[in-house]
């Protein structure tokens, strides 16, 4: 939750932590669970609020994408929706 109250680059880190945890929880590989509806809603709200900044952020996986980190976020969201029935956006 702390990372969601920071700059868009840290929002990306929070998104990736949540994505990995979602995947592990759905595969029953997580040693603990912390993904809940409140966290997903806060993540969604934060990502949508910072969409413009994430589109121009060329750090990490966004370095070679036309729409920066936002493009990677939407790609992963499509996977989460298709594979786990969970939309983050």
Q: Name the pTM for this structure.
A: 0.86
Instruction: Summarize the confidence of residues 43-65 as an average pLDDT.
Output: 84
Q: Residues 72, 58: contact at Cβ < 8 Å?
A: no
Alpha-carbon distance 24 to 38, whole Å? 19
For the segment 7-25, what is each residue's pLDDT rounded down to a tens digit? 888 999 999 999 999 999 9
Alpha-carbon distance 44 to 15, whole Å? 9
């Amino acid at each position: 939750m702390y990372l969601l109250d920071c700059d868009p680059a840290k929002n990306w880190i929070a998104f990736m932590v949540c994505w990995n945890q979602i995947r592990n929880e759905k595969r029953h590989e997580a040693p603990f669970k912390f993904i809940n509806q409140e966290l997903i809603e806060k993540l969604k709200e934060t990502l949508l609020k910072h969409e413009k900044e994430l589109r121009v952020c060329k750090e990490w996986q966004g370095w070679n994408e036309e729409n920066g980190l936002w493009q990677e976020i939407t790609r992963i969201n499509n996977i989460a929706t298709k594979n786990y029935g969970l939309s983050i956006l």
